[in-house]
Amino acid sequence: MFGYLQIDKAELKVREFEAYKSVYCGLCRQLGRDYSVFARFALSYDCTFYAVTLMSLRRSCSGFDDGRCRFNPLKKCKYARCGDDCYSRAAALTVITVYYKLLDDISDSGFFKSLAVRLVKPFFSHWRKKAAGRYPELDKTVCDILTAQLEVEKKDKPLLDEAAHPTACMLAEIMKAEGRSESESRVLYECGYQLGRWVYLMDAADDYEKDKKRGCFNPFLYVETEDLRGYMNAVLSQSLARAYDAYNLLTIYDFKGILDNMITYGFPLKQNSVLSVPQGGKK
């Protein structure tokens, strides 16, 4: 994914931050176990959010183990124990999304600019096939929707909502699958849709100047307004507000303090950080 679904460390209790790190480290270790030590470099905050959400909804965390960092054996860390496949699902989603993101990067760049991406693609291709074998529904969801995303971006000046819809649907379908009832599935779909929309538009806002210079697709390039940064903020805040409303309808068990922190403080903080960079030369 994109790395925008982060915590606000300053607003977390110490024990909650330690618990968050233990899930982050647990997912890192799972990537190494399921795929390769090098797959750990694909670890993202977004898939950590997915792992925390799964473990909370399923109540699958059974405690914490002391250990040492796989990259730095001198560093002590904790690992959150998981009684089911939450880590494995999050690890699979990690390598699947990175693989398709690499394909997108290759298609958007020339041969030499994408040379580094082409060199790592075979590794992720192998890991993605392995992940798809374990979780074919995850691979199909990501593949189908990213294909739809590419089709939308080929259109002449697509509307903002039209451009964000495929990626929003991807996270919506992934979250919906975790519902334990029809009503919970609907709520998870709405929450996932709004967060997916927010992530896509955050990435577009973050890359606006770069895409403008390179002539790459960016939905905000087709928006006509004198205050583009203000418009971006309004659009992004709308999605966060709707995601927050849906989130409040969920029954959150474990890690509630962490998830509350992310949607209340972490995501808005990241949004403010991205939009603090002047767009189009304006402050």
- pLDDT, one tens digit per residue, over 69-105 is 877 777 888 999 998 999 999 999 999 999 988 887 7
- Residue 142's pLDDT is 93
Is residue 112 very low, low, confident or very high in pLDDT (cuts 50, 70, 90)? low
In angstroms, rounded to a whole number, what is the distance separating the alpha carbons of residues 205 and 223? 12
**277 pLDDT higher than 70:** no
Burial of 24 (0-12, 13-18, 19+ CB in 10 A): buried
Is residue 52 very low, low, confident or very high in pLDDT (cuts 50, 70, 90)? very high
Number of neighbouring beta carbons within 10 Å of residue 246: 20
Number of neighbouring beta carbons within 10 Å of residue 122: 9
In angstroms, rounded to a whole number, what is the distance separating the alpha carbons of residues 258 and 205? 26
- Show Cβ contacts of residue 230 under 8 Å, excluding neighbours closer than 6 positions: none
pLDDT digits (tens, 9 = 90+) for 122-163: 999 999 999 999 999 999 999 998 889 888 988 888 999 999
* Cα 36-40-46 angle, rounded to 5 deg: 135
**283 pLDDT higher than 50:** no
What are residue 68's DSSP bridge partners?
76
- Residue 72's pLDDT is 77
In angstroms, rounded to a whole number, what is the distance separating the alpha carbons of residues 159 and 163? 6
- Residue 280's pLDDT is 46
- Residue 115's pLDDT is 74
- Residue 3's pLDDT is 87
Tokens of 242: 């709707």
Is residue 116 very low, low, confident or very high in pLDDT (cuts 50, 70, 90)? confident
**279 pLDDT higher than 80:** no
- Residue 281's pLDDT is 43
pLDDT digits (tens, 9 = 90+) for 176-207: 999 989 999 999 999 999 999 999 999 999 99
**What DSSP assignment string belongs to the chain?**
--S-----GGGS-HHHHHHHHHHHHHHHHHHHHHT-GGGGGG--HHHHHHHHHHHHHHT-EEEEEEEE-SS-TTSEEEEEEESSSHHHHHHHHHHHHHHHHHHHHHHHS-TTTTHHHHHHHHHHHHHHHHHHHH-HHHHHHHHHHHHHHHHHHTSSS--HHHHHHHHHHHHHHHHHTT-SSHHHHHHHHHHHHHHHHHHHHHHHHHTHHHHHHHT---GGGG---S-HHHHHHHHHHHHHHHHHHHHTTS---TTHHHHHHIIIIIHHHHHHHHHTSPBTTB-
Work out whether the CA dihedral 213, 215, 218, 223 comes out positive or negative: positive
Residue 166 near residue 196, CB atoms below 8 Å? no
Is residue 53 very low, low, confident or very high in pLDDT (cuts 50, 70, 90)? very high
User: Does the predicted model carry a pTM greater than 0.85?
Assistant: yes
**251 pLDDT higher than 80:** yes
**278 pLDDT higher than 80:** no
- Residue 83's pLDDT is 84
Which amino acid makes up residue 7?
I
